[in-house]
Amino acid sequence: MPIINETVNLDAHLITDQHHSFRRIGADYADHSTVNHLRKQYVNGDIHTNTAESFGSVLERAKQGVFHYMSRKHLSRYLNEIGFRWDHRVPSVKVTKNGVKKKYMKPMPFMIMLRSLLSQCIGRQVRRTKNFGIISSENPNFYSNQPCYCL
């Protein structure tokens, strides 16, 4: 069973590119649509892979520009932070030099993101260990790779 079946609900509408490996995987899902990048087809109505490619681009930029190295031990923390930033964006419109309106996503204002983050931490405590690690006071056996916005 492919790892995708462990994380994606089988009732989902799977959208992929034309790669042959997705044909068999797509048969497991409620619906499966594709775009054919080899034929320069990037959008087919509402079907596109731009969102996944955009998230991958954000991940790559974070790796190159902010984190420089992502250890396997803390990978879930890096991905969690990038996912938080992704989830806290708002649509905006700008006008290009040619007068064309272009939609793009920009980060939410910092205080709104902070409020969202802190709302997940109500009733929780996080402590530093002597060697500057992090433990949760509710769960002293807390494993540092636990994916969550707030411990």
Mean pLDDT within 74-95: 90
Helix (H) or strand (E) segment spanning residue 90: strand 89-95
**Torsion angle of C-alpha atoms 89, 15, 149, 106, degrees rounded to 10:** -10
pLDDT at 138 over 70: no
> Reduced to 3 states, what is the DSSP secondary structure of residue 14?
strand
**Residues 6 or more apart whose Cβ sits within 8 Å of residue 2:** 25
Q: What is the predicted pLDDT for the residue at 50?
A: 87
Is residue 58 within 8 A of residue 82, CB to CB? The reply is: yes
Q: What is the pTM of this model?
A: 0.63
State the chain's mean pLDDT as an integer. 83
